[in-house]
Structure 1
Amino acid sequence: MSDTVVRAVRGATSVDGDVPEAIVASTAELLGEVLERNALRPDDLISIIFTVTEDLSSEFPAVAAREAGLTMIPLLCAREIPVPGSLGRCIRLLLHCNAPRERVIEHVYLREARRLRPDLAGDAQ
């Protein structure tokens, strides 16, 4: 049996507009991909921090996690700092979990957010 340790998984996605349905749908897609690609179950999760850019304010990304049944996981939503020229309409997450020490963590970048980390999004040359 392997040792489990606290690990962190990063991810990001983008939405086409500031409407609640788009924020919830994109967040749900991102969260689902993070959990699937890293073979994580709800019992493995410790906490999730979501951030949004200043142009997204119609809904909390945490709503998607609650709708997915993650009702006992501490969630936090915050605003990204508005760096000039940064990607807009972006949702990011930092998920803390218990996972085997030897597991390779796969960070997930979807949609326009793939530009943030092409090396992790599978876009590197």
Structure 2
Amino acid sequence: MIRGIRGATTVKENEESLIIKATDELLHEMIRQNNVKPETVAQVIMTVTQDLTAAFPAKALRTIDGWTFVPVMCMQEIPVPNSLEKCIRILMTVETNEKQEDIQHVYLGDAIKLRPDLFVK
């Protein structure tokens, strides 16, 4: 079965090191919580809000062992008025036997505001 795993995080400033670090943390948490192996990943789509231009978040994925051949694309979010600022979003498409309701979507930083219904302390 093909499933989507969602994740999002935020950064305080438009700085390359912060974007890469936050993306790395989010990716590792998505991978850990869903026991994802790179060979089961069809693609990873990353988006950033218009205020993040200092780095491609995909750079973080390229530093993870075994993820060299996973297709990844970066795009810009649509600029909806009053939307969450400095936000990095990820959609990872994976092959898994997990039920839809068992997928662990990950929201870090201020991105918890996007899906408070999925946030568990």
> Residues 23-47 of structure 1, C-alpha deviation per residue, up to 9 Å, x if partnerless?
0000000000000000111112111
- TM (norm. structure 2) is 0.94
In the alignment of these two chains, the number of paired residues is 119
**What is residue 103 of structure 2 aligned with on the other side?**
105
Within a 5 Å distance, the mapping from 1:36-115 to structure 2 comes to 36-69=32-65, 70-102=67-99, 104-115=102-113
Please list every run of at least 4 consecutive aligned residues from structure 1 whose deviation after the TM superposition is greater than 4 angstroms.
none
Question: Once the two structures are aligned, what percentage of the paired residues are identical?
Answer: 42
- In structure 1, runs of 5+ residues without a counterpart are none
> Match of 1:9, as an amino acid?
I
CA RMSD of aligned residues (A): 1.2
> Which segment drifts farther, 62-71 or 25-34?
62-71
Larger Rg over CA atoms: 1
- TM (norm. structure 1) is 0.91
Contact 1:13 1:92 in 2 (8 A): yes
Residue from 5, 12, 26 that aligns with 1:30: 26
CA distance in 2 between partners of 1:112 and 1:21 (Å) = 18
> Residues 32-68 of structure 1, C-alpha deviation per residue, up to 9 Å, x if partnerless?
0000000111112111000000000010010000011
- In structure 2, runs of 5+ residues without a counterpart are none
Contact 1:110 1:121 in 2 (8 A): no
